Structure 1
């Protein structure tokens, strides 16, 4: 049950629905998960609240969108990379440059999640 936390500038407010769709599509492709597994948190920030280098790892970053994926332990390194690339591809397809993205996966042991019906936990 991976879910995403996304921090981005408030200038993207009107694009949240398409960003949500793109992120979910990348997660579905990359993690081979059902499209109904939709859990996202968008946190909007004003200019100056997101601090980032404009030239690391590559030059010409004009903005930043931080995407943190929380996922159960067990996805292999290749699958996690595949998912992150798929998310970046989907976001680039809606016109946001991939160099403006910073994505990572945080793994959480299955016993550290709670949702009724998830993994037999009630």
Structure 2
């Protein structure tokens, strides 16, 4: 039951539905998770609130979108997590946002640290 927290500039406000669809498509493809497992949080920021290097790792970054995927420890292997992050970047690139503007990572928490009715979160 991974969910995503996304920090991005407010200029993307009108594109949130597209971003959500692309993010979900990448997560479904990469993690082999059900498409109904949809939990996204978008936090919009004004210019100057997201600080980033334009030349790391390549001098192509014009903007930044931080994408944090929260998942249970062991939800996916290292290879599967990498596959999911690449799939997310691929899907977002399809809607016209350069992959150079993305910074994605997975944060893992113990299964017992989750709770949602119908999902105990305990292994």
Q: Same fold (TM over 0.5)?
A: yes
Q: Is 1:35 aligned with 2:35?
A: yes
> Number of aligned pairs?
121
What is the distance in 2 between the residues matched to 1:70 and 1:101? 17
> Matched residue of 1:118: which SS?
coil
| Superimposed CA distance per residue, residues 2-41 of structure 1 (whole angstroms, 9 cap, x where no aligned partner) | 0000000000000000000000000000000000000000
Tell me which residue corresponds to 2:13. 13
Please give the residue correspondences for 1:1-122 in structure 2 after superposition, counting only pairs within 5 Å.
1-74=1-74, 75-119=76-120
Residues of 1 paired with 2:70 and 2:95: CA distance?
23
Cα distance in structure 1, aligned partners of 2:88 and 2:121: 29
Distance in 2 of aligned mates of 1:92 and 1:8? 15
TM-score, reference length from structure 2: 0.96
Unaligned runs of 5+ in 2: none
Equivalent-residue separation in structure 2 for 1:60 and 1:83 (angstroms): 23
The Cα RMSD (Å) is 1.0
- For 1:10 and 1:76, the matched residues in 2 are separated by 34
Runs of 5+ unmatched residues, structure 1: none
Q: Secondary structure at the match of 2:61?
A: coil
Runs of 4+ in structure 1 deviating by more than 4 angstroms, as ranges, are none
